[in-house]
Chains A and B, each alone.
Chain A
């Protein structure tokens, strides 16, 4: 490493890799004395014994605390401020959720402990399942999928199994060009060919082209609603009818349910199967990339195919797992899903109740429209269709000066905000996809709007300032091309001696 070790005027010291702090003999643990005779590992394991675990660090507890605390201060989280990543729904993560998930009997429950000693965990799962069925307007649900994309796979396999049971799983899945990248990848790993569906001028599914493309080879349509433009598919029921008339099914990607909870239910407008992202809509924290949780809710006709096991009520009134499901698509994950996320999502629902859930949705939509109104004209709005919980602008006005959405995003960091989504949807070149969520006060929204307006002015008057952003972070813009061209994916011991 070049330069002084104190890298910036950040509130704390620079921090190397934990391996670079290691020296033999430092310890951050103490084991309790063995209450059984010690053993000779080499004698017990023979050729399978390990000589050395390799270059794991040897450090003390205070160094660990400082290391990870310092690292954390280089991260931006929802706790830091507005995090308007569109389609990712970065809302406030309530602390009571965390306390609930850490209560001993829930946090330390073994998945194979007897059902009779798991009634509490089963009650949490059953109560959450009932709430999610009510919210989605569906008939049956599995909490097993570990993330949204895993839920997509589960849902498409349900469609496949249902159609198979009628004699033909069919060949194709239709996917609008505005869809998340996971949708086509999911269809492919479920053995389907992907056929694109063009959006119309309003950014919605073009029903006449759907009619033209729909035939008996099509198993289903994967539709995000509101879609990735933040637009509600107003003809959703017609879309469902077109699919159903030819025996296909409608899958809804529930990534954007934050716009609908308490206001409308997908089951009521013809959706056959959908997933929910608990970390998006129900405030379970996403932890820098996971864990997620992607329950899948469906109509009655798909229920027999749900992954085993499902939670059931037994004749004696206790809860248990039903493994005897001959038509099931099988398991998609060991055990019952990300139970710790189920606890957090249920805590969120209980804290809100029916009135709170509805008002949450209303505030999310209000916030997005407020931003839209106050930035319209400053940034190009490619689709004027009404917005729900997120709004998509484009960088068209700024590209004249050579500035792209990514540059504006980096400059936004200097104003103390996490950037919006820069890469979606594909149908809007240079998209700025903004989703404020309900968690923002009017003051925070106004600050964000002021920053966006100021950056638009800078793009006109001092484009280089924006091109060189960010200026206030510990590191300046990172070379992603170098990282991909010459991958360095781990620390190596010799790297240390070279630096010394």
Chain B
């Protein structure tokens, strides 16, 4: 076995030192009737070439080489090559959670930089060192709101990613957190009249997404004013982090629950991604997940450690703020490198390219179908209602190796023949023009 570094003679010698006749002596604690007698029924040992052949074939059986208009919570952005070059360094990717700070300063400092950049981008005062992803950040933010307010109800917009809402429901159902969903208005924004009816004196938080699932930017300031008047917290989920380059951050919110995938994380068929929770300083002790803090060594030199761990499961056990143990350090490092590459100017330019592509596309599509929710600003996604079935339109596009928009029937049947189209900086004008043609056919 090529990953095992011992020779047969090494094993013999070690067994002799242990006074064992055979390796099976060491497995004596497992009752004999439960010890496997034969081989596991898994594929035989393969050579490196065979392994790569298997995965290359798998890649070919996927949509390799297709242009795409899919967004809906997972965004196709360019990943500068520097990212993989750096995160492939063994000291980053083969390390564990930085429990021994003196030999983990690389990871710790990178995370400290990540926390800082997330604060700058979101307008929040503190950010954690990442959560599993944007979908699990939502229930964690809901549970955090419950701890902060002592109230138990959650009000969530129907325009929050449908799968995020499903995850929230799974987490909430056994914790006595009733969930009320509030619909959207003509302009795609949260229906304020319906919100007014839904919020009670037991509402811990109002949760919205901005840009929301339809790409529409919510009026966060108005939502915050309303929510705070009711004594509840406002949680804003951000699925498309790239929007922060040009869209005003939700500074009026109490908690931001974000997905950082857009920042240099490959689509990867849905994961791994990196969620983040960012909030106000006064709420930090109720925030779940890992945090890195600055400190000094005994010579007064600056260094970094994991901190405020008394909130966490390994100390508080069943009273912890969350059961989350791992974070997504390597993915957070990817995002940190991405944010560093683009920086203050680049993120803005990138976001503007996204805006321009989507504006061109929605304008062109608007000539052949109906672009919904025109009354509010949006970022890089829009909803197109067509005369024909979006699945049929997509079939026509696939012949040109283009994956069309995401049909909304499954999650929003009331929108009829509607699909969610996404344009990023990687979307080519020629593909937009081809898609417009396919819609018109």
Q: Which stretch from B148-156, B158-166, B198-206, B223-231 is at the chain A interface?
A: B158-166
In the docked arrangement, what's the CA distance between A150 and B132, Å?
Answer: 9
- Please, how many angstroms separate the alpha-carbon atoms of A39 and B356 in the complex? 5
- Which chain A residue shows the least CB distance to B292? A489
Q: B215 in the interface, Cβ–Cβ < 8 Å?
A: no
Q: Are A106 and B343 in contact (CB under 8 A)?
A: no
With known contacts A357-B42, A475-B102, A237–B34 Cβ distance under 8 A: yes
Decide: A147 near B326, CB < 8 A? Known: A69-B86, A124-B55, A353-B42: yes
With an 8 Å Cβ cutoff, the count of chain B residues facing the other chain is 200
**Contact present for B109 and A71 (CB under 8 Å):** yes
B171 pairs with A189, CB closer than 8 A: yes
Q: How far does the alpha carbon of A15 sit from the alpha carbon of B112 in the complex, in Å?
A: 14
Instruction: Report whether B102 and A477 are in contact in the complex, using a CB–CB cutoff of 8 Å.
Output: yes
Closest chain A CB from B299 CB (angstroms): 6
Given known pairs A57-B343, A478-B296, the reply for A111 and B74 (CB within 8 Å) is yes
From B352, which residue of chain A is reached at the shortest CB distance? Answer: A41
**The residue from A47, A56, A491 contacting B343, defined by CB atoms under 8 A apart:** A56
Q: Is the CB of A490 within 8 A of B298?
A: no
Residues of A within 8 A of B417 (CB): none
| Per-residue contact bits, chain A 297-334, to B (CB 8 Å; 1 contact, 0 not) | 00000000001000000000000000000000111111
- Nearest residue in A to B268 (C-beta to C-beta)? A340
Counting CB contacts under 8 A, is B286 at the interface?
no
Query: How many contacts between A and B, using CB within 8 angstroms?
Result: 693
Most buried by B among A117, A149, A333, A347: A333
> In residues 16-74 of chain A, which contact B (Cβ within 8 Å)?
17-19, 22, 24, 26-29, 31-32, 34-39, 41, 44-59, 61, 64-65, 67-69, 71-74
B58 engages A107 (CB within 8 Å): no
Interface members, chain B 107-151 (any A CB < 8 Å) = 107, 109-113, 115-117, 119-121, 123, 125-127, 129-130, 132-136, 143
Which residues from chain A contact B299 at a C-beta distance below 8 Å? Answer: 3, 476
Task: Report yes or no: A41 in contact with B355, Cβ–Cβ below 8 A.
Answer: yes
Q: Mark A484-495, 1 if CB is under 8 A from B, else 0.
A: 100111110000
B400 interface residue (CB < 8 Å to A): no
Complex CA distance for A23 and B227, rounded to whole angstroms: 40
Give the contact stretch, choosing among A89-97, A207-215, A394-402: A89-97
Q: What separation, in Å, do the CA atoms of A112 and B408 have in the docked complex?
A: 12
State how many angstroms separate the Cβ of A389 from the closest Cβ of chain B: 10
Known A108-B266, A121-B62; judge A489-B297 contact (CB<8 A): no
A363 to nearest B CB, angstroms? 5
* B residues near A74, Cβ cutoff 8 Å: 91, 103-106, 109
B329 within 8 A of A: yes
CB pair B340–A386 under 8 Å, yes or no, is no
Q: Which residues of A lie under 8 Å from residue B337 when comparing CB positions?
A: 64, 68
Check B92 against A72 for contact (C-beta < 8 Å). yes
Q: In the docked arrangement, what's the CA distance between A195 and B339, Å?
A: 46
Q: How many angstroms from the CA of A15 to the CA of B109 in the assembled complex?
A: 10
In the complex, the chain B residue whose C-beta lies closest to that of A111 is B270
Asked whether A263 lies within 8 Å of B41 as measured between CB atoms, the reply is no
Q: How far is it, in angstroms, between the C-alpha of A107 and the C-alpha of B315 when the chains are bound?
A: 37
Are B116 and A491 in contact (CB-based, < 8 A)? yes
In the complex, are the beta carbons of B1 and A366 less than 8 A apart? no
Q: Are B307 and A79 in contact (CB under 8 A)?
A: no
Alpha-carbon gap, A201 to B55, bound state (A): 49
A130 to B92 CA separation, bound complex (whole angstroms): 31
Assuming the A-B contacts A36-B360, A123-B58, are A370 and B174 also in contact, with contact meaning beta carbons closer than 8 angstroms in the complex?
no
Which residues of chain A come closer than 8 Å to B31, judged between CB atoms? Answer: 234, 237, 269
B416 interfacial by beta-carbon distance below 8 Å: no
Which residues of the partner chain A approach B359 to less than 8 Å between Cβ atoms? 36, 39, 44
Beyond known contacts A28-B343, A58-B343, A110-B267: 4 more, CB 8 A cutoff: A48-B247, A64-B86, A289-B326, A356-B4
7 tightest A-B CB contacts, nearest first = A287-B330, A335-B270, A105-B59, A353-B45, A79-B90, A105-B64, A289-B329
